[in-house]
Every structure is written in C-alpha cells, then in structure tokens.
Structure 1
Amino acid sequence: MPSANPLRTAHRGALLHSLADPAEVGVEASFEYVEDGLLLVENGQIQAMGPASELLPQLGREVTLIEHPDALLTPGFIDTHIHLPQAGMIGAYGEQLLDWLQTYTFPCERQFAEPAHAATAASQFIDELLRNGTTTAMVFGSVHRTSVEAFFAEAERRDLRMIAGKVMMDRNAPPDLLDTPQCAYTDSKALIERWHGRGRLSYAITPRFAPTSSPEQLAMAGRLLAEHPGVYLQTHLSENRQEIDWVRSLHPERSSYLDVYDHHQLLGERSVFAHGVHLCDTDCARLAQAGSAIAFCPTSNLFLGSGLFNLPMAERHKVKVGLGTDVGAGTSFSILQTLNEAYKVMQLQGARLHPFKSLYLATLGGARALHLDDRIGSFRPGNEADFVVLDYHATPLITQRLKHCRSLEERLFVLMTLGDDRAIRQTWAAGRRVHQR
C-alpha cells in the first residue's frame, strides 16, 4: 500500500528534469538541474521546484521535510508500450515475432480468462513497474475484459496514472482467444464507461495489430474512437518484416501498413503505435501530421531480431516518440535498462543517443507521446507529483564508476547504462511513496 500522504511535503536533493526535446532546442536548453534542490508537494501536486536555499526559509511548520542524500530525483518513468499478460513468459527463447506469439504469448494470455489469475498478475505487474521507477504505463490487456478490470482496480487502489485496454482480436489467432467486432465494441464501450477518467485512469482502444483484426473490427475501433473523444488508441506497427508482408497480403488495396490504420480513422493525437521499426519518410510525415506517437521498444526489437528503430528519421519529421519496455518480448521492466539498449540501437546506426535525450524519452517525451505533458513528465508546478529517487550508491560498481565522472551528463549516462531496479531507491506517485527499496 502507498505510504501516508502528508498534506505538504518538501523533498530535498539533486533535482533533474527535461524542459524540451534536445533534438529541437539543443542539449543545454533541454533540461533543468538543481544540485541542492527542493521539490515542494501539496495534495499530490508539485507546488514549487528550486534551490533549497531559496525555498527552505519559506516552509511552514506544517511541511514535512524529507532528505534524499547521495541521490538524483527525476520525474517518474513513463512506459508507452507494455503487455500485462506477457510478464509470465518474459525471456522466452528462440523465436521471432509471429512464431513467438503462437508458441509463448497466446498460451500465456489464455490464463487471463480467470479473474483470480488476472487479479494476482495485475498486482505483481504493478509491483514490478513501481520497483523499476515506472509511474505511468500504457498497457495491453488480454482479449478478456477481466484482464483490464483487474489492472484498473489495482491501479486505482494505488492512485496511479495508468492507461490500458482490452485487446481486440477476431482472426488469425487461437479460436478461444478470439472475440468478434460486436463483442469487442460492447466490452470496450463498457470498460470506457466504467474506467475512463476515473481517478487517474484512462482507456485505450486496443486492436492487437492489423493481422488479427478484420477490416470490420478495425472499423469498429474507429467508431469507438470517434464516439469517445479523449480515449486512446494503441496497437502495433511495422515491427517485423514478415509481419509487414503479411499485412500487405491481407490488405493489398492499402498503400502501406500505416495506411491500413489510417483508412479506419485510427490516427490521432492520442494514438500510439508500438515499434515503427520499418517505417518510411511518408509514414513518419503522416504520423507527425496526425499528432500520433511511436513507442520505441529497443530491448524487444533486439530480442526478437526485429530491427533497429530509426530515431533520427522520426526526429526529422517531428514525430512524437516515447519509450516502451514491451514486456514480455522486452526482457526488463527497467526503463534504465531499456535506455541502455536504446543507446546500442543508435550506435549500430552510426548515431548517438545523448543522456539528456534519454532522460527526455523516459519522462517528458513519454508524457508528450501520451498527450499528458500538462500533468506528468516534468517538475513543472501544477504537475502530479510522480517522481523517482535514483541511488548513486545502488551497487558497488555504480559507486566506483561515479567517482570517475566529471559531469552531470556522465553521471546520468552511468545510471542509464549500469542501473536497473536496484538503482531505484524510492518511487513516489501523486505525492505518496509507492515503492521503497
């Protein structure tokens, strides 16, 4: 359970957050850092952020002061693509995407028809997110309505900002995991009416991907999106070349994989497309025009051999990009470890991923991808008080390595390269401590 939430708290420590995308404003203008800072929190929201020397004299006796020595405070991490039912088969050996789905994913998802299993799995899943410093995630459920009911109930209990949706899937999957266009519409509508906008929860209409949703079901998803302004759309896009060929054979009348979704009115400011490994300039331009986002999932893309996401191309077209762990194809809930892999993906393409760009992707960039940067992703006054405390002495290796760092940039890169769940000393959500290592 979350810790008690005093009316007003002040967190003292080194504070770092993104102000903008380094690709747009340059590195130096993209962040704010206060070596000895104070983060003032009231009723779950950030009231002020600045030097401790300036803010400490203003604190009244009713404020609880919390010290965070030898640590770095950043906004909570944002995971823009992850699967609740796949945590049970993380690290599954030996397949690429389509065979992996049949061999491992679908059997695991079948278990979520049972409410008790879904409830236990949702609690464990959220524990793992918080243990890794993730305070907001965009989550795929299974085809079963019970999976999303369980997830939202647990997220509501902990007062977390989460987005989730029931998978829509009416073809090219095991018969006992299929719904129908009408069933998907009815269940999704009921979930939207019950959960969307309740507390800090939002709903995402969730066709798994074009091969497993018929044109009729994709049209139904577009209808839902039009009927419920403010809900999200999440699906997969151009992850694997075999998958892309399959989509082409199923939709020969469409000009591209993205055009399948576009034809069914699924692009918009709250639409997030996972992967986008094999996009072209035309696709990126259309995504940017629609205000849609890509979830960059480096760990998953490497693990399944899908390919290397072209972040510089997305930047050229000003496509919104967030970071996704994509558990269970991704092999870690840790956004830090996901950034480690993202750096390598860029290196393999002859490009660099600057530590402050990594910070942006994990926080403010993810918030912008989810159309939530007015609520989370930075320490802007008025934002929700979701943040993590990164421990400079999490492991002996990190302690030793940080002794040789000469700049904040280096220290941040070391945390992102060597850090994992052990580096998360505490996680706070809406001003409450929801994880303590």
Structure 2
Amino acid sequence: MIARRLGGLAAAAVLLGACAPIPRPAVLDDLDHVRAGAAAAESKRHAPGAFARAEKLRSEALAALDRGDRPGAQILGEQAVAAHAHAHALSRVARAETAEAEAKAQRGAGEASLAGLEAEQARVAAEVDALDMRIKVARDAQPVVPSGKADADREKARLAAARSLALQARLLCGAARLLIAPAPTGTAPATTGTAPATTGTAPAATGTAPATTGTAPATTGTELGARLDEATAAIKKLDGDLAEASGSARPIPAPIDQASRARAGCLAVLTAARRAATPVTRAPGAGDALLADLSAAGTWSPARDDRGIVITLRGLFAGNILTKAGEARLRDLALVAAAHPSFPVAVVVHTDRDISAREEPAWAARADAVVRALRPTQSASDPGTSPPSPPIEPFLAGSAAPVVDPAGSERARNARVEVVFVTPETL
C-alpha cells in the first residue's frame, strides 16, 4: 500500500516537472538593461536602421523562449545585445559626422565673415590713403607764405632746399607727362643739373589722353597739356633763377618760394591727370594690387610717394657697366611692370656728388641701361612681337636729393636708382 502511494507521488512529480516553465536566459535580462539605457535611445535617434535590427533579434529571442527553445533564445539574445552595441557605435559615428558637418558650416561662415571683414578693411585703408593723399595735395597747393630775409648761412640752406624742390617738381611733372602723353621709346634721359632740365620741355600732345567716359572730373587732354606746359615753363624759369643764385658773386635770395610753387603746380597737374583717368565707379586703391605683388616678392621694399610706388636699387653697376646680378634684378622687376602695363615707369638716377657736364653722358648711359633692362625682350620665335610694356622714361636727378649726409662716411648711399611706377589713377 505504501509502495503504491510512493509510486503515485513520483508520477505526479514527473508530470508537474514536465509542465514547469523554462527558465529565462540571463542574457535576456542583460538585453532589457541595454534597451533601457541612454545608449539605446541615442542609437534609436542617430542609427535607426541598426537599432531596428537589434530589436528584431530581441523579438526573435523572446519568440524562441516562448516556444521552449532556450538555447535558441540564448543565441538570439546574445546577437541582439551585440546588435545594440553595433547600433551604438554607428550612432556615435553619425553624431561625429553631424558635428563635423556643423563645424565645417561654422568654419565656412567664419571664413566668409573674415573675408568680408578683410575686404572692408582693405577698402577703408584705401580710402584713408586716398584721403591722406588729398589732404597732402591740398596742403601743398596752399599759397606759399613769402619767406623773409635771412643771413648767409640760412640763404645757403634755402638754396639747397630750393634745388631739392626743383628736382621734385621736375619728377612730378615728368610723371604727369607719362600719364598725359607717354614719351616715345629711346628718348634721352632728362638731366637735372644746373642747366635748365629737359624734363617736360616738349609740349604734351593735346588730345592724346582724353578723359575716360564716366570719370570725374572731366578734364581733357588739351587742358592737361596746357597746364603741364605752364608748370614746365615755371620750372625753366626756376632753373634760371637757381643758376643765377648759385653763380652770383653777391648774395641773392634763394628762390625758395618760387621752388615751392613750382612743385605744387606739378603735383596739381599730376593729380588732375589721375582724376581724369579714374572711373567714378571704381573704389580707391588702384596701386594696391601692384604694391601687393612687389611686397610678395620680399626683396623690393616698395614705398609710396606723390609719384606712385617707388623701388630703390643700389649696387646695379660696376663702374658704368650693369652687372649680371643687377640686370637679373631688373629683369625680375620688368616682369612685374609687364603685368601692370597701366603704370608708366620713371627711372630716376641719383648721384652721390655733383657731376659736371662732361660726366652727364656716362650717367645718362646708366639710365639708358636700366631702361633697356626693364623693357620686355622680344620673342625668339616671333621677333616682331613682345609682351605689353608700359612707357618707360629715364631721368637724371643729380645730387639734389640725398638720403644721407653728402659729406658723411656713407655718402655712397646717395648713389641709387629709383624705379617709380607712376600711379595712373587716384589712390
């Protein structure tokens, strides 16, 4: 009887065991923990495709568990956890790419803003330069206050200053003539000794530089030529008075006031020529591109004055012969000149001492050698053609414009060559 009861209990236990639920794999608990985390939320937002695949594997794992397939549920659960990890990695990549795109967009906007600021700064700087130049021109054009009497030493200093002003007047009128009526190639350099200078003596051809349509003020080539002739005549008279003051045995007041008026007259003609060629619609700063090209080379040290952009060169000659190194420098400068053919070029040769009439031809030959080096060479395949070249004219300045003490130990620095790119429009 007892054995029969024990057998019944054993059979009931077997039946109860067969009906008990299959234990849930631990990996599914891990999967639920992963799904509830911030990483899964990020994956759902940035990598929805990978997140959907992980969720599909989870659904398959739960379905396998419901079918009683515990091993299948374990495997599918592990795959779902791995899929969620992969989705999180993809979401981080997507978030990084989005951040990169936003950074690039911000960088582009910043660069565009910087470029706009730089352009505005360049425009304002050009306007400031133009305003400074106009103020200088207006100041130089003011009526000259007559100079009073002075002692002998003061008159000697005034005479030297008058010679320097006379040289500046000749160079300014020469620059104006290059803009109004470019000199023919091969002309002899203008001398600036005690004799009347030839710079600007030839009357400017009228009508050769008519005012461009839409420019202001509308000054015709005839009017500019007449004003240039008047300024040149004033220089001729000044040269005569300077020669008389230098050679007179009795003290004669130096023509300092006359020299100031001559310089102001030539500067006024040069300014008028530039204004006649400047379109109203163009912003100031016509020489900025040329100045940038010269500065970019790092070897020229360009500067600006009333004439335009000036390059000062020394050591070009061995005696009266242009050295190969000097010729190479001038050839490089010629390439810049050819790239900016609207800028006439004045070659100004300065000496470190007074030169006699016998020495002038040798210095003139130096000036001619510089002019030849600055002119573009003809093509070997087609000798009849050559690159565009701006007008180039030589000038002999003599010793009237020293940069150091003419009696000092460094007076040799006064011997130099200035290559002046005459600015054709208002700055």
**TM > 0.5 fold call:** no
Higher strand share: 1
Please say which structure displays the higher CA radius of gyration: 2
Class of the TM-score when normalised by the shorter of the 2 chains: under 0.3
